[in-house]
Amino acid sequence: MRSVVLALGSNLGDSAETLQGAVDDLGAAAGLELLGVSSVYETDPVGGPEQPRYLNAVVLGRTSLEPSALLEVTQGIERAWHRVRDVRWGPRTLDIDIVAMGDLGVDAPDLQVPHPRAHERDFVLVPWAEVEPDAVIPGRGAVRELVGDAAGVRRTTIELRLRDRVEGAGS
- Which residues are catalytic, by number? 83, 92, 95, 97
The entry of ligand A4P, Mg ion, none that residue 127 binds, CB within 5 to 8 Å by partner kind: none
Among 50, 86, 107, 110, binds ligand A4P (CB under 6 A): 110
Determine contact, residues 115/99, Cβ cutoff 8 Å.
Answer: yes
Q: Which helix (H) or strand (E) holds 26?
A: helix 15-28
Among 11, 19, 38, 97, binds Mg ion (CB under 5 A): 97
| Alpha carbon distance 137, 111 (integer Å) | 16
Per-residue DSSP letter, 14: S
54 binds ligand A4P (CB under 6 A): yes
| Alpha carbon distance 97, 6 (integer Å) | 6
73 binds ligand A4P (CB under 6 A): no
Q: Which parts of this chain interact with ligand A4P (CB under 6 A)?
A: 9, 43-48, 54, 56, 95, 97-98, 110-113, 115, 117, 123
